[in-house]
Amino acid sequence: MAKGSLLYITLGCAKNEVDTDRMRALLDAADYQEVDSAQDADAVIINTCSFLASATSESIETTLALAEEVKEGVRAARIIMCGCVPSRYGDQLPQELPEVSAFVRADEEDGIVAVVDELLGVERDMPSFIPNIKRTVEGSVAYVKISDGCDRFCSFCAIPYIRGRYHSRPADRIIAEARELVAGGVKEIVLIGQDTGIWGKDFKDQVDGPANLAQLLVALAEELRPQHVWIRVLYLQPEGMSGELIAAIRDTPEVLPYIDIPVQHCNERVLKSMHRSGSEQQLDELFARLRSEIPGMVIRTTSLVGFPGETDEEAEQMLAFMDRNSFDYTSVFAYSREEGTRAAEMDDQVDEDVKLERAQKALDLAEALGFAATASHVGETAEVIIDGIEENDGFSEFIGHAWFQAPDSDGAVHLDIEEACIGDIVTVEFTDSFCYELVGHVVESE
């Protein structure tokens, strides 16, 4: 018999999705039932984001709106705020948000069963922490965290203060989790972390098994090879792109030739002020090497404009760098002055209107490059994973993504197929494109 009913709400990035999946699995094993409405829930677990001030505001606003909604519920659901906001502002929150019954930091989420039990008055003989519980994911794609935390302390970023110092997950746990997810029907494993390229650097003792990301990719591919699974890696910093890693991506068929490398800027002075390393020449050489050594290489990056002290000339330098490297996908952000970061205290803060103007220029260029990269696939044939059905004005169609499209980030493939199941892999000829989207004709299915 169910101990109680729970609603889950996740805000922010894929790493938060993984954390919510983990809490859901723990609570499922503890005999709690998931529901779809706050009015039907005994408790609501909201996993929050605090990467930017805007994300923090969204988390607070969503929580307050939720508090109003649960007042109308039959059960007067308790609200449990988890994740980044409690990690960043924990001491201040009980007074600021009396509507919330409990706050759970990101590093405390494995104890979620005990928190819910206490709030709902549930007593049990079983331990409230279940260390080896299996995640369940509905859909064709699953994110797997290989690390958490960050040691970079970029001057604009609050992540180290929220998530703590960098720590790698052991390879055996990563591989076991991926194996279980694939057994449940997942067709693509996306490896994520704050800085995936340096996975394993914090292993102090001699490691029995993979000791760096390149070795982990090879071991994971060998484990999953019989199941025909894609492996994608996100959030690689430039310094993590070793020759061994490049070779592993190139020579391991299961690992997609798709790399997400957030550069933020190319100007050496700005990078130094950001507490990042590198230079325009070094970055140019890296991207040229990737495209030279890995056939069909697809590159996603990030541009941060309006950083304190950035001049018009430096902003133009970044635009020229983006154009020259013809990135397939570029996420553009205007600098946000984040409380507690070093950059927030810097002189020469850029005016908001100037930041927005620079961001718009960068976005216009990013879209021009990205739309052209998407259109370049028209006429090609490639495998596509079916992700679901999209409804639009009474018209429905299957959508999926190709290897060169990261799920939830890079657009989709719209398919002229009448019957399919989520997770099916079909061979598609791309016949047209619009913005980041592709239209495809199914020519063969697995």
CATH of the domain at 353: 3.80.30.20
The string of pLDDT tens digits covering residues 363-413 is 999 999 999 999 999 999 999 999 988 877 767 788 999 999 999 889 999
Residues 113 and 146 in one domain: no
The string of pLDDT tens digits covering residues 120-148 is 988 877 655 555 667 778 789 999 999 99
Which residues have CB under 8 Å from 261's CB, separation 6+? 236, 237, 238, 241, 286, 299, 300, 301
Residue 132 within any structural domain of the chain: no
CATH of the domain at 438: 2.40.50.140
Residue 127 within any structural domain of the chain: no
Is 49 labelled a binding residue? Answer: yes
The Cα 174–Cα 167 span in angstroms is 13
Nearest C-alpha neighbor of 226 from the set 207, 263, 253, 261: 253
Label residue 414 exposed, middle or buried (CB < 10 Å: 0-12, 13-18, 19+).
middle
Is 154 labelled a binding residue? Answer: yes
Considering 375, 392, 412, which residue would you say is the last residue of a domain? 375
The phi, psi pair for 6, rounded to 5°, reads -130, 140
The pLDDT value given to residue 422 = 84
The string of pLDDT tens digits covering residues 308-318 is 999 999 999 99
Is 435 labelled a binding residue? Answer: no
CATH of the domain at 114: 3.40.50.12160
Residue 135 within any structural domain of the chain: no
Mean pLDDT, range 105-116, rounded to an integer: 91
Confidence class of residue 254 from pLDDT cuts 50, 70 and 90? very high
Residues 159 and 93 in one domain: no
Residues 163 and 288 in one domain: yes
Is 266 labelled a binding residue? Answer: no
Domain membership of residue 96 as a residue range:
4-120
Residues 389 and 361 in one domain: no
Domain count, the chain: 3
Residue 408 within any structural domain of the chain: yes
Residue 167 within any structural domain of the chain: yes
**Exposure b/e, 234-267, CB count within 10 A at least 16 = b:** bbbbbebbeeebbebbeebebbbbbbbbbbbbbb
The phi, psi pair for 342, rounded to 5°, reads -65, -35
Residues 362 and 402 in one domain: no
Residues 177 and 261 in one domain: yes
Considering 323, 342, 375, which residue would you say is the last residue of a domain? 375
Residue 133 within any structural domain of the chain: no
Is 421 labelled a binding residue? Answer: no
Asked whether 332 and 366 are in contact (CB, 8 A), the reply is yes
Give the number of other CB atoms < 10 A from CB of residue 168.
24
Instruction: Give the whole-number percent of the chain exceeding pLDDT 90.
Output: 70
- What is the DSSP code string of 320-333? HHHHHHT-SEEEEE
Residues 274 and 354 in one domain: yes
Is 82 labelled a binding residue? Answer: no
The mean of the pLDDT values for the chain is 91
